[in-house]
Structure 1
């Protein structure tokens, strides 16, 4: 298992050379501005392939080559995934991909979107809802960076190095990776032992037996080599995702505001709802590819029965109520946050453009 993990590191490190070069090398003359963006996953995974890279190309093309965008995977510019927001704020990098939930408690309002069964299984639909929610509730939280997009991934599943989950009792005692506080709260209610960790640590934790599995998307499965590291993948029934994760694609505020007006307009034209939906759609494309790859590898793919799903949903409702009570005690209106998140998700249901595969 460790030898396969080593092979993964070599392969993805080689891919970094290509990805880091990015579209900027195609410019025939020196750009006026070079922006260095950073993320923490493989350049071959869905969001870098279908959103970040094309977004950089659009910025370069629409600026007439005056802006170059370099995108660095695997935190190659330094720091760790949980510190990404501060790296952007402090100007260590010009921009990048942030999971606010990697710093539990710092951005509590964003957790409303991550609660169990909150979003549909479409990343695009969830991301449209996330942009609305961000505009209403989160811009003050992110005031010291410039938010380009706010988005969610697609469906979140349970991946286990063992048989597929069939009932809640099958989760008892399993050590399962969770990406956020709401996800780990749900895993705990399900009887598992939650282990919070960012996605870069997940493959090694599986290979070393630190965890028995975890919750993550289809689209990340190939780049994490889950076809080799786990045996089964289990989804819940219905059109709602077991959990979800909130992201922002953001720039250093001073760098953004320091751009000439016409170049800021290029960034603005590739920001907001269109960029958020674009980022979520990238996950949906990757989900279809990831599921196909796991099926081709012979891994077990399962969907829980409606009855078991309803049992889990009831536990998820308890997580949501406990979350409302907790954040309300801290001075936030938890019920209003949950109501708004549900409203925006309902409004955007059916707007996804990538067919979902069960």
Structure 2
């Protein structure tokens, strides 16, 4: 034993650094926009720094912006489910049909403020839509700011002037909305939008202010119509999700770190970063000389009436649609101050 103890001690000393290193978990975090985007710089990087600090350096991120792991934005969900990425930020609207219940928050005139709507969506998903997240652990669910109509060359003030214009939309329901308003909807992920605007493939785009700087929309469009209403005419749902197997593989200590940095209040915090980014995107547009104007309430009443069939169709076509719609509206109202 006297001979073995020093040998065992020596082996243990050699193994300690290896064992310490083995406790370190690197999370591959993927998304579709460049590092200058709000989500990368103001949400994902701070989140990664926070989980690293709270885990004592045992949880770290390797961030892959701009689809650096390959594929296209609609494939991000499969990348997370298949373990190609451990965490992804994406839009459910990029994969039509996969989130039939939670897309209720994209219906016309449902959402109010960023944070209230984010809290409402988190509660709604936890109760009604977890089946849509099979293989995934939701970390945050939220909506971006009210979408603005950005036009290349033409100021649009009325429904009649919008008629037949080719306008980019982010999701199935926003496509339906534009169609109901008389426009010609063109669905595409946001990374494809700048080239489509530049080449005149589309005449306008439906995006929130915060997306403007990362896509240089302020340089590609001249007229920007804000839609005057207490409730957003349309928004896009967003999710930040983790591969469930990866989460389950973590130690209880590291799971707790993830749990402490996900949920309803984290969703609201993410949404709050979009508020700041919306202001910055609007300021960038002003600085570029763009014309910003508001569709007045009287005209917006016509838009709301034209959009009503989109909600009616969704309720009719969705299982338990009336209850889901009413519950989403009630939750938004509950959290709106």
Task: Name the TM-score, length of structure 2 as normaliser.
Answer: 0.92
Q: Point out where structure 1 has 5 or more consecutive residues left out of the alignment.
A: 1-28, 351-358
2:196 corresponds to which of 205, 208, 217:
205
Q: Which has the larger radius of gyration?
A: 2
TM-fit CA distance, 1:232: 1.1
Q: Which residue of 2 aligns with 1:286?
A: 277
* 2:330 is equivalent to residue 343 of structure 1: yes
TM-fit CA distance, 1:233: 0.9
Counterpart Cα distance in 2 of 1:303 and 1:109 = 31
User: What is the CA deviation profile of residues 310-337 of structure 1, one whole-angstrom value per residue up to 9, with x for unaligned ones?
Assistant: 111112222100111122xxxx111111
Equivalences for residues 31-180 of structure 1 within 5 A: 32-120=24-112, 122-180=113-171
Counterpart Cα distance in 2 of 1:50 and 1:62 = 18
Counterpart Cα distance in 2 of 1:100 and 1:263 = 27
Q: Which residue of 2 aligns with 1:298?
A: 289
Counterpart Cα distance in 2 of 1:254 and 1:82 = 21
Counterpart Cα distance in 1 of 2:160 and 2:40 = 37
2:231 corresponds to which of 236, 240, 254:
240
Counterpart secondary structure, 1:307: helix
Contact persistence 1:163–1:300 (CA under 8 A): no
Counterpart secondary structure, 2:213: coil
Counterpart secondary structure, 1:147: strand
How many residue pairs get matched? 317
Equivalences for residues 4-43 of structure 1 within 5 A: 32-43=24-35
RMSD: 1.2
User: What is the CA deviation profile of residues 156-206 of structure 1, one whole-angstrom value per residue up to 9, with x for unaligned ones?
Assistant: 111110233211111111100010111010100111110010111111111
TM-fit CA distance, 1:274: 1.8
Counterpart Cα distance in 2 of 1:241 and 1:44 = 26
Counterpart Cα distance in 2 of 1:125 and 1:301 = 26
Counterpart secondary structure, 2:210: coil
Counterpart Cα distance in 2 of 1:232 and 1:67 = 45
Contact persistence 1:164–1:302 (CA under 8 A): no
2:184 corresponds to which of 180, 184, 193:
193
2:262 corresponds to which of 263, 266, 271:
271
Counterpart Cα distance in 2 of 1:106 and 1:142 = 9
Contact persistence 2:154–2:223 (CA under 8 A): yes
Counterpart Cα distance in 1 of 2:261 and 2:193 = 32
Contact persistence 2:147–2:234 (CA under 8 A): yes
Counterpart Cα distance in 2 of 1:111 and 1:269 = 26
Contact persistence 2:164–2:182 (CA under 8 A): yes
Task: Name the TM-score, length of structure 1 as normaliser.
Answer: 0.86
TM-fit CA distance, 1:98: 2.2
